[in-house]
Structure 1
């Protein structure tokens, strides 16, 4: 299908949706470097060689010291923050349940358009789904600890709404599924089977070349104008709910489109947007409050980072 839309625009949209959580969704790349190195070094004793360059040797200590030099302060600071959070959770008898963690993970995965897109996005950064899960857990821990400090006032909610009305406007949207094939004859064959009563989802799994959603019945979710290639968009927005198109040719091949729902354009309304605004403001406040709270706790616990410059 429209790879540019599905891969780039969905990822950009997902990044913007979760941007309020960015500070606490920690960047684990540096920690991963240290973790991998630690695993590699487990099998080596003190003074042992981890690499050779001609006649020159690189020892375990040299590698370890270099990692500490480049990443030590940042990693240690992250570990200190993690320790403080866990101690405060225990003190307050607060826990994050498996259900809460899975719910948040599902929301993040959905915002990126599905697990395949999440994995692609993470792979681009050298990360895995488990890395994301650890970051989401960290976010939920901090959110629970700081929630009393994150309440938005009515004035803040109204001000945010007035400044971002266009964001909350609901444009006309279509929900659709599609089956993408490369040859016109194949497209005609698929349409004939559909006309004879075949199941759309089953044919999508069997025929569609859009590997990102073929196993999910070809579902594309809701999209507005300007998100799909012109020919696809023109066809989809001209169809009725439940209607299945004839083959539609685009630069990607031939599409059989099924429209499953529509949303008419709707102007922004404060009451309809209130809960979403509260969550956005909570995320924004978390970014600033977390740093303040952490510094308070570092003083309270008399934390000393000997690697800090």
Structure 2
């Protein structure tokens, strides 16, 4: 069960549980048969109470360890981590869609992230990432870290050469490319954006289109370019040079990533260790009560 879901279940349980004794307060009725608040509470406990409590116990253990080590996570650190997550999705829209799929909110993600950052801060001093490991990672992943040359272009797509020639004549007479694309292009995916295709690299488009687009200068318009889709009139609007970061530029980022990975690998054993040392009383599930392990003789 996701932490965010667990927190919701816990909140509901806390809100409905009477502070003293039983409660016969009615929360619903079906054909005159009453459902009491106590019955709802018991059902919620059965449905997720044990898992909810286990997660709260785990969180409390983590927070106690952090306090003992004088470790704190600032809101700015959480926000920076959230920004990186959003960036990894490519857009805020994709990020929000993923949150919705997991029934999470930004606030619940921030709570989860703060716990994860706390664990990372506790365990990072226990990691041992060498300069050689950082160099090896860079050597193995240098190509993936590079960004190839990209251009941005717009196009007008029509079915026939005659239509393309007529549009070229209109453009030569001062016609606005974006307006004509909106009015006459048959590419429904780009026409409403004035024909804009965004940035793309080599291999992203069909060969004839790619060759013509990359050969243009910025703001230059092509002739009629034939492809399997019809005839394109292409306007190059921007370009980005290839980026090949050096080891010096990436080494700190790589080390941070490797340290985080190693800390994550240590977390399961670490959690078992701190649970073994703790005195945990679980009144909801008594068999889960744990006492500290006796010291070895």
Q: With structure 2 as the length reference, what TM-score do the two structures score? A: 0.64
**Residues 174 and 236 of structure 1 are in contact (CA less than 8 Å); yes or no, is this contact kept in structure 2?**
no
What is the alpha-carbon distance in structure 1 between the residues aligned to residue 23 and residue 228 of structure 2?
Answer: 62
Aligned to 1:7: none
- For 2:293, the equivalent position in structure 1 comes to none
Out of 48, 72, 87, the position equivalent to 1:71 is 48
Aligned residue for 1:140? 117
- The residue that corresponds to 2:242 in the other structure is 264
Evaluate the alpha carbon distance shift between residue 37 and residue 272 of structure 1 in structure 2; reply closer, same or farther with a 3 A threshold: same
Equivalent-residue separation in structure 2 for 1:261 and 1:102 (angstroms): 31
Matching residue of 2:150: 174
Q: Determine which of 64, 69, 73 is the counterpart of 1:96.
A: 73
Q: Deviations over 1:52-81 (max 9, x none)?
A: 333444332233222222322322122112
The change in CA–CA distance for 1:101 and 1:245 in structure 2 (over 3 A counts) is farther
**Contact 1:241/1:261 (8 A) holds in 2:** no
Gap regions ≥5 residues in structure 1: 1-25, 201-208
Q: Distance in 2 between matches of 1:62 and 1:231?
A: 67
Is the Cα contact below 8 Å between 1:48 and 1:60 reproduced in 2? yes
Q: Which runs of 5+ in 2 are unaligned?
A: 158-162, 179-187, 289-297
Mapped partners of 2:16, 2:45: distance in 1: 14
The residue that corresponds to 1:31 in the other structure is 6
Residue 84 in structure 1 maps to residue 36 in structure 2: no
**Corresponding residue number in structure 1 for 2:107:** 130
Which residue in 2 is equivalent to 1:52? 29
Match of 1:150 in 2: 127
Q: Of the two structures, which has the highest relative contact order with CA contacts closer than 8 Å and spacing of 6 or more?
A: 1
Match status 1:112 vs 2:123: no
**Higher mean displacement: 86-95 or 41-50:** 41-50
In structure 2, the partner of 1:206 is none
Question: 1:29-58 deviations in whole A, cap 9, x for unaligned?
Answer: 431440463477379992223333334443
Secondary structure at 1:50 match in 2: strand
Q: Deviations over 1:233-265 (max 9, x none)?
A: 8379616674476799999xx998765443438
**Alpha-carbon separation, structure 2, partners of 1:232 and 1:118:** 35
Deviation, 1:148, is: 0.3
1:290 to 267, 290, 295: 267
The CA RMSD measured in Å over matched residues stands at 4.9
The answer (yes or no) to whether the contact 2:9–2:44 under 8 Å persists in 1 is yes
The separation in 2 between residues aligned to 1:54 and 1:149, in whole angstroms, is 61
Seen in structure 2, the aligned counterparts of structure 1 residues 237 and 103 have a Cα distance that, compared at 3 Å, is farther
